[in-house]
Amino acid sequence: MLGHSYGSVVAAALAAQHPDAVAALALLNPICEPALASAQRLPALGAALFYRVCAVLPEALGDRLVRSAAITRISSELMMKTRDAHLRRIINGQHAAYFGAFASRRVVIQAYADSIRATVGDWSGQVTVRTLLVAAERDDLGSVAGQRRLRETFPPQAQARLECCPRSGT
């Protein structure tokens, strides 16, 4: 099973709770520290405030804001580090296509609240399947030191291995 970014938390939880359903686990840029404790603390707080405001607005307005293409584009641009124009177009295209594809305003607000608290470390001690962690050297949501600490939280039977991709990041 492969989990990327917040999906790494979901994949680790599934592997921990249902080890017979997962042959092996690969976590790409796993969330190793809560967003509020990472280099992205201020943007995470800003986004949390945005979602709180959207939650108290009248439903139609709040829904329009959380699905806003302009908000998606701004957040996408703020997260990216690459200067490669082609890659930026691909990333922006993916964000534009999928960031507004949630069931409801309530669901996306709850998902964001969970995403800034949960980490793979919440589940890693219970993962027994072979595990590969792949980390980007410049990932603001998971420092290399944090990824090394995370690897140490897996039990020996997981044979957790960490591979870092130099000069790479969001």
Q: Is 116 exposed, middle or buried (0-12, 13-18, 19+ CB in 10 A)?
A: buried
Q: Looking at residue 170, what is its pLDDT?
A: 59
Q: Looking at residue 54, what is its pLDDT?
A: 93
What is this structure's pTM? 0.81
Strands (E), 12-129: 24-28
**φ, ψ of residue 129 in degrees (nearest 5):** -85, 155
**φ, ψ of residue 130 in degrees (nearest 5):** -55, 135
Low-confidence ranges of the chain (pLDDT < 70): 170
Residue 129 and residue 112: Cα distance in Å, rounded?
28
**Encoded tokens for 32:** 């190793």
DSSP letter assigned to residue 108: H
Q: Looking at residue 12, what is its pLDDT?
A: 98
* pLDDT tens digits, 64-102: 999 999 998 998 888 777 788 998 999 889 988 888 888
Domains contained in the chain, CATH given: 1-34+119-170 (3.40.50.1820), 41-117 (no CATH)
* Residues written for the chain: 170
The whole-chain average pLDDT of the chain stands at: 90
